[in-house]
Amino acid sequence: MSWFVLVLSGLMEAVWATALSRSEGLHRLGPSIVFVVALLASMTGLAMAMRTLPVGTSYAVWTGIGAVVTVVYAMATGAEAISVAKIVCLAAIIGGIVGLKVLH
């Protein structure tokens, strides 16, 4: 269950990061509200997962998922350029996340 919560928390990290970028410095109300709600959900889930998972593994998986999903979303929406090098780097992050799960 902790791994499931951790993955959801990582997805919420991508939501709050994207909302933060769209809030224009927390000056747009809608994205600012999404940012705060997603941030609270993400941090709460991370804290819950850390009850049974090691802190280093939890944090690495949480940030890795958040980073990968944020970049993939930005590339899918055209906010960020797609390149082979970026895809290889994202694959390396995913490989590291899977490796941490397998080694746990």
Domain boundaries, the chain: 2-103
Round to whole Å and give the CA distance between 20 and 37: 11
pLDDT tens sequence across 34-54: 999 999 999 999 999 999 999
103 pLDDT higher than 90:
no
Spatial neighbors of 35 by CB under 8 A, at least 6 apart, are 16, 19, 20, 23, 26
Does the structure show a pLDDT above 90 at 70? Answer: yes
Q: Looking at the predicted structure, is the pLDDT value of residue 63 above 90?
A: yes
- Return d(Cα 32, Cα 68) in angstroms, integer: 22
Q: Give percent of the chain above pLDDT 70.
A: 100
Question: Of the candidates 65, 57, 51, 66, which has an alpha carbon nearest to the alpha carbon of residue 101?
Answer: 57
pTM: 0.91
Q: How far is CA 52 from the centre of its chain?
A: 20
